[in-house]
Amino acid sequence: MTTTKGLEGIVATTSSISSIIDGILTYRGIDIDELAEKATFEEVAYLLWYGKLPNQSELDQLLSDLSANSAIPTAVIDQMRLYPKDTNSMAALRTAVSSLSLYDLSANDMSRDANVLKAIKLQAQIPTVIAAFARIREGKEVISPKSGVSIAENFLYMLTGDKPDKVAIEALDKALVLHADHELNASTFAARVTVATLSDIYSGVTSAIGALKGPLHGGANEAVMAMLDEIGSLDNVESYVNKKLENKEKLMGFGHRVYKNGDPRAKHLEKMSRALGEITGNMKWYDMSIKIEEIVTGKKGLRPNVDFYSASCYTYLKIPRDLFTPIFAISRASGWTAHILEQYDNNRLIRPRAEYTGPVNQSYVPIDQRS
């Protein structure tokens, strides 16, 4: 038996959803660079689920289905009111998404049509859950979703109660496009492992949220912002980063298992961070980020990943730091559910082996003879 720590380099499944080949990321064969410039998040979600871009009437139908399914049960809102106010937002999301299944009469209907509808429903409800949680913990009224607006606009609206401006909507929409799918990343793999037992789609997405929460995965965007806050100013960047590197500590938002020459999504977020800095008249977060990148790439050869510049972008959009990873989940819900549907379509239980490294030929020792 051969083992690879962290399954590095192991091809664990086939998939026709997204690919990373020679450092180029595509969704259904379309380069992410093109989608980032031209597509809306809803078009991308359709592309991931159905394997093709929607025509106008298909997109209209999806927008109307998303709107029709975006409200969450009152019982789930009432439960959220009972969560500790300082609870981790990803833990809250994980629990609330699991709860949603209790109120979905089709939760255990495993037909394809029912699962596609549940994918749309989860995509529509996750932003509502996050915004509701964010308001409840501040003692504010929960705002119901609007119909006829994009997921990006709706989320910003439900968070603040104000109509978001065009720049903010477009920036968030682009961030959602960039995070939507990424081949067999840890959370998507977790979702596929869960549903390969023929468990339901809610269980798959709940597993995925749990995996995304960690700082080696989606939790890194929040950790990047914590680092920027800790550094505090451009003048402190050099000494802070050098110290981290000398101590062989990880710099959040850098490195990637698959990309060794740079994450193709990072440049779009870098550009967005610069533009938002200029628009808001506050270049601080962007300038600090650029300087960190110069040092880390110069000294370690490590490049920023998707999480690095998303931190400053979301800060410019005035989104609370602990909602950064939940926003990643809003976007990745499209990829998770596309992978879950693909897994169901060609399922076999995922059950690898472990190479045993423990003791052998041991006997049971009665308790009174144990040291």
- Cβ atoms < 10 Å from Cβ of 329: 27
CB burial of 84-113 (b: ≥16 within 10 Å; e: otherwise) equals: eeeeebbebbbbbbbbbbeebebeeeeeee
Q: Does 274 bind ligand SDX (CB under 6 A)?
A: no
Task: Name the burial class of residue 308, with classes exposed (0-12), middle (13-18) and buried (19+) by CB atoms within 10 angstroms of its CB.
Answer: buried
Between 81 and 250, CB nearer to ligand SDX: 250
Rounded to whole angstroms, the Cα distance separating 175 from 150 reads 13
Helices marked H in 180-283 — which ranges? Answer: 186-195, 201-212, 220-231, 237-246, 266-280
Q: How far is the CB of 150 from ligand SDX (least distance, A)?
A: 22
Q: Binding residue for ligand SDX (CB under 6 A) from 94, 174, 256, 303?
A: 256
Name which of residues 6 to 35 contact ligand SDX (CB under 6 A).
6
Given the residues 179, 307, 322, 339, select the one marked as catalytic: 307
CB burial of 167-189 (b: ≥16 within 10 Å; e: otherwise) equals: ebbbbbbbbbbbbbbbbbbbbbb
* Dihedral sign of CA atoms 31, 37, 43, 44 in order: positive
Instruction: Write down the residue that tokens 């799918």 correspond to.
Output: 181
Q: How far is the CB of 251 from ligand SDX (least distance, A)?
A: 4
Q: Does 217 bind ligand SDX (CB under 6 A)?
A: yes
Query: Is 307 known to be catalytic?
Result: yes
Q: Binding residue for ligand SDX (CB under 6 A) from 250, 260, 299, 318?
A: 250
Q: How far is the CB of 257 from ligand SDX (least distance, A)?
A: 3
* Dihedral sign of CA atoms 111, 115, 116, 118 in order: positive
Q: Does 220 bind ligand SDX (CB under 6 A)?
A: yes
Given the residues 256, 263, 268, 339, select the one marked as catalytic: 256
Between 79 and 244, CB nearer to ligand SDX: 244
CA-based nearest residue to 99, from 81, 117, 85: 81
Question: Applying CB under 6 A, which part among 148-156, 229-237, 299-307, 318-326 lies near ligand SDX?
Answer: 299-307
- Cβ atoms < 10 Å from Cβ of 130: 25
* Dihedral sign of CA atoms 307, 313, 317, 320 in order: positive
Q: Does 251 bind ligand SDX (CB under 6 A)?
A: yes
Between 178 and 195, CB nearer to ligand SDX: 178
Query: Is 339 known to be catalytic?
Result: no
Rounded to whole angstroms, the Cα distance separating 364 from 371 reads 13
Between 20 and 158, CB nearer to ligand SDX: 20
Q: How many residues bind ligand SDX (CB under 6 A)?
A: 20
Instruction: Map residues 301-320 to x or -, x wherever contact with ligand SDX holds by CB under 6 A.
Output: -x--xxx-------------
Q: Does 252 bind ligand SDX (CB under 6 A)?
A: yes
Between 80 and 252, CB nearer to ligand SDX: 252
H or E element that contains 18: strand 18-21
Between 250 and 318, CB nearer to ligand SDX: 250
Q: Does 176 bind ligand SDX (CB under 6 A)?
A: no
Which residues belong to the active site? Answer: 256, 307
Instruction: Give the binding site for ligand SDX (CB under 6 A).
Output: 6, 182, 185, 216-218, 220, 250-257, 300, 302, 305-307
